[in-house]
Structure 1
């Protein structure tokens, strides 16, 4: 749903034409993007609405990722936007956040698939890889020729991975005299892992107890990835349980610039703000569906949009979305300025996803019983919101990161 600021059909206009403003962009935040960024938004939105949206419910129900669209995603620069040397044009963190919103607005599962591949796996190589590793992996990942996954969370460790990581890496000398590492352990909830070409595995060095990163090329002997079934959120993301049994990784595939968990935190800081933007997209998708439904659904002889309680839910939803966009615009601008810190992105992720949760609940209420059926547009967002609320740091953990910044006292140990 769009508020017409340019001629109708602008999303199908020639390259260079700006996208219409979304109905949910009540304060016209999109206009703060550059002309080139707005033109890219138009191209990406047209692709999402034409090629992703029509199939999102079916893929969600079948628990499949949109792998067939990988070449088009790469062509549009969805994998390379954040990487100098590989991106199609100079752009801002605000633009990249807005694109995360646009993707999640149409399909949160697709947004998560892209976020894992480019936001986590590619950023891990960009931040922690040597020049040679970056040259080997990033161009092909940007083109969608290779897909990445990010293996941090473990069956027994989520919020406490900084200190509780149990997967181990032991260095030894190979038969040919070169150094290699032996990885043992398990990972859980690893998106893309069932079909990824490379999985960034985080493991604790048995010699110095420091966390290090390793590029595990799949398939590798001793590496197994089993798809997690029976999920009820982000079903279009193929999460896996990973088992590593004496997996051999040559020294050349250890991320050379990772010295400990602090470097892992740099990667997470880069992606956490974009997850907040995804949360806005989930809220916007639900809001748009509820608004359209309220205008069409007739009860007691009138569209339900004419009733005060429905208008209250729509107004509150739009207020949440507007406040969330304002917060994320500033956080991403701080990232552009080099001023963003962990507590800034943590506040954004916690606040936005809490407001998102309220929005999807109000929107489901507006649809009544129809709100639990995929065909009416809200149910998928209602379910997907739960996963977005939890990953990249739970609400509680992100809140405590902010609390530590406020007081100087850590409430977790």
Structure 2
């Protein structure tokens, strides 16, 4: 539900594309995703449907930032795990190779990635360093003739269990400069293991990755990465994308709750007739509309190349906070049925917890905004 008609700002062609994606997401992905989520299984079949829509190469097209954002929202509206796969694939893997890779790397991988014929993993976070990763990278790369030798460990790496390669952020032992290295998953010394027992984004296959004397050609180093500043640019855009995911989560909450309260009978009438139901529904709609408006502004800044980290941090922290509040209201509205995935709300409720935490925790993004407001850094 788009009460502000933000999609009305799209061109006619873009509106038609968005509508087509919405139809597929709602009728061929939404209900079908529940079983994959329950089993913690990657939804290969469902990703295939999105490949047919060209969503593996969303980042390569000439569509507007507003359309791309609304597409991410529509995917999250259907399933947040699947939207994470599409977003990370485009924003952090395909986009990184396109913008920071060599001609050879682009020629080898962009076509395959665009068709979801190959997957990559964005390997930045480490077991002991998450929020402080900018100064805490411990993974290393050592030059040895015409090769680099990589050692270290990475954690929470999306699609890391089955990706064809990982884009590993590591520190050059000789220069202490941070670089990025394309490491194929079949290299000796490279291993990935699935992180089990997650409460959310259960279809997303997060991994622990270990690098033990992994040798790669010098040509596998991404030439566009000469410092951690490159990672910050990527994270800025991905935080804006998570804001759109939060919009989709609120759309899903409103969809699920509106359908449920119209059908569920209590005390001889539909739940929708009760004030205690209408009030939280209105609050969820308000949260959604506020975030849609904010994310529309973010898209316009992106079009003008005027997006700054403080903008992305505020969008990510605010939208995920309101999505979390909305999901809590929605889960309560469904009563006991709100705690089982069969009714979908429990799945959204749990997935939103991950949105609140990943791509920079709520607290870290809030401190980025606080630093901009006060001129004083609260980071150690």
Q: Which position in structure 1 is the counterpart of 2:304?
A: 337
Q: Which position in structure 1 is the counterpart of 2:136?
A: 164
Q: CA deviation at 1:70?
A: 3.6
Residue 349 of structure 1 pairs with residue 277 of structure 2? no
Residue 312 of structure 1 pairs with residue 289 of structure 2? no
The equivalent position to 2:24 in structure 1, one of 32, 37, 47, is 47
Residue 30 of structure 1 pairs with residue 7 of structure 2? yes
Instruction: Give TM-score scaled by structure 1 length.
Output: 0.90
Question: What aligned pairs does 1:1-400 form with structure 2 within 5 A after superposition?
Answer: 24-83=1-60, 87=61, 90-173=62-145, 179-400=146-367
Which whole-Å CA distance do the structure 2 matches of 1:126 and 1:236 have between them? Answer: 27
Which whole-Å CA distance do the structure 2 matches of 1:406 and 1:132 have between them? Answer: 43
1:267-316 residue CA offsets vs partner (Å, 9 max, x unmatched): 11121101110011112112210111111111111111111111110000
Does structure 1 conserve the Cα–Cα contact (< 8 Å) formed by 2:291 and 2:319? Answer: yes
Which whole-Å CA distance do the structure 2 matches of 1:378 and 1:113 have between them? Answer: 20
Aligned residues between the structures? 380
Does structure 2 conserve the Cα–Cα contact (< 8 Å) formed by 1:127 and 1:267? Answer: no
Which whole-Å CA distance do the structure 1 matches of 2:49 and 2:29 have between them? Answer: 11
Does structure 2 conserve the Cα–Cα contact (< 8 Å) formed by 1:287 and 1:314? Answer: yes
Which whole-Å CA distance do the structure 2 matches of 1:254 and 1:368 have between them? Answer: 52
Flag the structure with higher helix content.
2
1:9-47 residue CA offsets vs partner (Å, 9 max, x unmatched): xxxxxxxxxxxxxxx211111111111111111111122
TM superposition outliers: structure 1 runs of 4+ over 4 Å: none
Partner SS for 1:82: helix
Partner SS for 2:57: coil
Partner SS for 2:315: helix
| Unpaired segments ≥5 residues, structure 2 | none
Which whole-Å CA distance do the structure 1 matches of 2:214 and 2:79 have between them? Answer: 35
Q: CA deviation at 1:50?
A: 2.6
1:344-385 residue CA offsets vs partner (Å, 9 max, x unmatched): 011000000000000000001111111001111211000100
Does structure 2 conserve the Cα–Cα contact (< 8 Å) formed by 1:169 and 1:203? Answer: yes
Which whole-Å CA distance do the structure 2 matches of 1:233 and 1:186 have between them? Answer: 23
| Unpaired segments ≥5 residues, structure 1 | 1-23, 174-178
RMSD over equivalenced CA pairs, Å: 1.1
Q: CA deviation at 1:131?
A: 2.5
Q: CA deviation at 1:336?
A: 0.8
Q: CA deviation at 1:145?
A: 1.5
